[in-house]
């Protein structure tokens, strides 16, 4: 990532050297998405949900797209401003974020121009809308938060965009469209939209379309509600693009996009006696190519591959992925840290990636007994599990993502660190999404955490890590080396520089 030959991360636009490992040895990052040996640059840092583009490619702030009604200062960020999900659409031209306040902010990639060649990778606010509102279940005396848990895009079929967003209970299908013309010359309405007295209408007019300022509208097309007793943790669009599934702690439901009042329960792990409950569903995803297959992970660190052709209720899995526990690492916290927080199919559909508290694992669909690759994300926290348990950080749910060619893995950590692992060279790097180091042309060095008593000048002690700053949500452009990293209410976008 934007590392020069000295192992530094650069956020300007100069040509830089190859990747380096934390030790400083060269390790070229293989990329099969057509980005070559380019270096990474900081494209922009955006406050969400503020409608303002910060750190433009020039030294000054681009104020053309600032909407003052959405401005919020970073120092006054509230709980509602914290980003809870990040997702690129299928082309990568749009990037959606959801926050704990129930808002969805969509960013659009800046189009390249002859006068501003460097602006191509920057994302600016395209649309902002309130997706969910707080609700209250009076029967259960339960408050339902407006927080957006997941966003999933549908492939674009026409000029409009469609996306799914969900909170704990309700999934909504949104249509985002542009309008730059308006009809004028109604017969039954005046220019302000008020109905006319029919007795005063003496002529017949043909309405005409007049140009107007571009307006982006977000309208809810479907609302899928009242199907989950427990909190929804995952939604996934099927490859047939006619159905999608939503998963909560104990059940997975299959929906048709055209039917909102009925869903099919395809997984139910709820025991007859809730006192016998031993595991819950933590994440679920459809296979990218086979519409009949999906996987779901559990709090026991297991993954089940299911085939909907076998039976209507997939209570029996086709494959069961589990790694035997090493007795030498057994501790009081073993069950907690083995819980899988995220599961992702590779783009090819051949592999599954899972994230637990300390590691990222890659599984081959043809080998169920152990993962083919295991990457330590922050093994230095193993000695800190007791304090992490006391402050509830041990229950944080980190996500993981593939790059476009499935050759690199990215996931988050604490202190606003995020980790990248090259599957080909087995090199890794730790980088920090920091507001203090996000100025144009600033140099960000790879970070390294020191465990022992002595530490070097450029290292940070494990005791100095800020556990309130955490990278839980990340996204990777589907075809290019562009990544989005969410840190509290800041969205950092990095791009591979190509000559």
Count: domains in the chain: 1
- Among 164, 181, 327, which Cα is nearest to 238's? 164
pTM score of the predicted model: 0.82
Residue 37 has pLDDT above 70, yes or no: no
Question: What CATH number is associated with residue 469?
Answer: 2.130.10.10
Where is 124: in which H helix or E strand? Answer: strand 123-130
- Using CA atoms, how far residue 192 sits from 184, 195, 202, in Å, is 10, 9, 19
Q: How far apart are CA 423 and CA 414, in angstroms?
A: 22
Greatest alpha-carbon pair distance for the chain in Å reads 91
The answer to whether 55 and 438 are in contact (CB under 8 A) is yes
Count H helices and E strands in the chain, helices first.
Answer: 2, 34
Q: How confident is the model at residue 442 (pLDDT cuts 50, 70, 90)?
A: low
pLDDT over 80 (residue 57): no
Residue 48's pLDDT band (boundaries 50, 70, 90)?
Answer: low
Q: Is the dihedral of CA 74, 77, 82, 87 positive or negative?
A: negative
Q: Are 380 and 426 in contact (CB under 8 A)?
A: no
Which pairing describes strands 303-307 and 161-166: parallel, antiparallel, or unpaired? unpaired
227 token code pair = 């199907």
| Range in 35-39, 182-186, 352-356 the model is least confident about | 35-39
What pLDDT is recorded for position 145? 94
Q: Does residue 389 sit within a domain?
A: yes
The residue behind tokens 């230095």 is 380
Under the banding of pLDDT at 50, 70 and 90, the label for residue 119 is: low
pLDDT band for position 199 (50/70/90)? confident
Query: What burial class does residue 87 get, using C-beta atoms within 10 Å of its C-beta: 0-12 exposed, 13-18 middle, 19+ buried?
Result: buried
> Is the confidence at residue 14, as pLDDT, over 60?
no
Supply the mean pLDDT for the chain: 82
3-state secondary structure at position 106? strand
Phi, psi of 301 (to 5 degrees): 80, 20
Q: Please tell me which residue, 250 or 111, carries the higher pLDDT value.
A: 250
Contact 117, 123 (CB under 8 A): no
Is the Cα dihedral 452, 458, 464, 470 positive or negative? negative
Whether residue 20 is contained in a domain is answered as no
Residue 402 CA to residue 98 CA, distance in Å, equals: 20
Q: Is residue 329 part of a domain?
A: yes
Least confidently predicted of 56-65, 148-157, 288-297: 56-65
Q: Is the pLDDT of residue 116 over 70?
A: no
Residue 256 placed within a domain: yes
User: Are the beta carbons of 239 and 221 closer than 8 angstroms?
Assistant: no
- Is it the case that residue 183 has pLDDT exceeding 60? yes
Q: How far apart are CA 24 and CA 17, in angstroms?
A: 12
CA pair distance 45, 116, nearest whole angstrom: 18
In the prediction, which pLDDT does 41 show?
Answer: 67
The highest-confidence range among 69-73, 188-192, 207-211, 349-353, by mean pLDDT, is 349-353
- Residue 188 Cα distances to 198, 201, 211, 429, angstroms: 7, 8, 21, 66
- Domain range for 479: 40-48+77-179+212-496
- Within a domain: 244: yes
Distances (CA, A) of 241 to 154, 245, 258, 288: 7, 11, 11, 11
Residue 111: its pLDDT value, please? 78
| Residue 1 pLDDT | 40
pLDDT, average across residues 115-139:
81
Instruction: Provide CB contacts within 8 A for 184, sequence distance 6+.
Output: 191, 207, 208, 209, 210
Bridge partners (DSSP) of residue 234 are 247
Is residue 469 in a domain? yes
Examine the pLDDT at 285 and tell me if it is beyond 90: yes
pLDDT digits (tens, 9 = 90+) for 202-240: 888 888 888 888 889 999 999 999 999 999 999 999 999
Whether 16 is covered by a domain: the verdict is no
Residue 409 lies inside a defined structural domain of this protein: yes
Question: Are residues 46 and 54 in contact, defined by beta-carbon separation less than 8 angstroms?
Answer: yes
Assess whether pLDDT exceeds 70 at residue 65: no
**pLDDT value of residue 239:** 96
Nearest 5°: the CA angle 468, 375, 149 is 45
Whether the pLDDT of residue 24 is over 70: the answer is no
Higher pLDDT, 35 or 410: 410
* 471 pLDDT tier (thresholds 50, 70, 90): very high
Query: Given this model, what pLDDT does residue 200 score?
Result: 83
Q: How confident is the model at residue 114 (pLDDT cuts 50, 70, 90)?
A: low
Cβ neighbours of residue 92 under 8 Å, at least 6 residues apart?
A: 109, 477, 478, 479, 480, 482
Listed in sequence order, the residues at least 6 apart from 272 whose beta carbon sits closer than 8 Å to its beta carbon are none
Instruction: Say which residue, 338 or 329, is predicted with more confidence.
Output: 338
Q: Which of 174, 152, 22 is nearest to 96 (CA)?
A: 152
Which pLDDT does position 55 carry in this prediction?
30
Instruction: Select from 296, 285, 295, 282 the least CA-distant residue to 336.
Output: 282
């Amino acid at each position: 990532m934007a590392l020069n030959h000295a192992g530094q991360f650069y956020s300007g636009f100069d040509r830089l050297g190859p990747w380096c490992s934390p030790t400083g040895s060269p390790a070229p990052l293989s990329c099969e998405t057509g980005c070559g040996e380019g270096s990474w640059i900081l494209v922009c840092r955006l406050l969400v949900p503020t409608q303002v583009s910060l750190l433009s490619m020039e030294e000054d702030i681009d104020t053309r797209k600032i909407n003052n009604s959405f401005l919020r200062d970073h120092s006054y960020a509230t709980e509602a401003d914290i980003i809870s999900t990040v997702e690129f659409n299928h082309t990568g031209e749009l990037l959606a974020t959801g926050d704990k306040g129930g808002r969805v902010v969509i960013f659009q990639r800046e189009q390249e121009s002859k006068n501003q060649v460097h602006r191509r990778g920057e994302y600016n606010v395209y649309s902002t809308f309130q997706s969910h509102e707080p609700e209250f279940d009076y029967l259960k005396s339960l408050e339902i938060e407006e927080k957006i848990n997941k966003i999933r895009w549908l492939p674009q079929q026409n000029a409009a965009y469609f996306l799914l967003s969900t909170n704990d209970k309700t999934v909504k299908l949104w249509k985002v469209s542009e309008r730059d013309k308006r009809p004028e010359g109604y017969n039954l309405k005046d220019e302000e939209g008020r109905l006319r007295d029919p007795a005063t209408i003496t002529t017949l007019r043909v309405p005409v379309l007049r140009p107007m300022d571009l307006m982006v509208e977000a309208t809810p097309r479907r609302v899928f509600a009242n199907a989950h007793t427990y909190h929804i943790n995952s939604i996934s669009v099927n490859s047939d693009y006619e159905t999608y599934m939503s998963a909560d702690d104990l059940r997975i439901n299959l929906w048709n996009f055209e039917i909102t009042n009925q869903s099919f329960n395809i997984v139910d792990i709820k025991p007859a006696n809730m006192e016998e409950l031993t595991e819950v569903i933590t994440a679920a995803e459809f296979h990218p190519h086979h519409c009949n297959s999906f996987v779901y992970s559990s709090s026991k660190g297991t993954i089940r591959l299911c085939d909907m052709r076998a039976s209507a209720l997939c209570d029996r899995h086709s494959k069961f992925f589990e790694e035997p526990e090493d007795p030498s690492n057994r501790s009081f916290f073993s069950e907690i840290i083995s819980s899988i927080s995220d599961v992702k199919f590779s783009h090819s559909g051949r592999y599954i990636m899972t994230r637990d508290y300390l590691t990222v694992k890659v599984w081959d669909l043809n080998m169920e007994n152990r993962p083919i690759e295991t990457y330590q994300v922050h093994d230095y926290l193993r000695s800190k599990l007791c304090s992490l348990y006391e402050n509830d950080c041990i229950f944080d749910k980190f996500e993981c993502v593939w790059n476009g060619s499935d050759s690199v893995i990215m996931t988050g950590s604490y202190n606003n660190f995020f980790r990248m692992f090259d599957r080909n060279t087995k090199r890794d790097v730790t980088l920090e999404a920091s507001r203090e180091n996000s100025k144009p042309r600033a140099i960000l060095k790879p970070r390294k955490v020191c465990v022992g008593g002595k530490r070097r000048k450029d290292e940070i002690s494990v005791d100095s890590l800020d556990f309130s700053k955490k990278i839980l949500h990340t996204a990777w452009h589907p075809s290019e080396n562009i990544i989005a990293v969410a840190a509290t209410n800041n969205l950092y976008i990095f791009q591979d520089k190509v000559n």
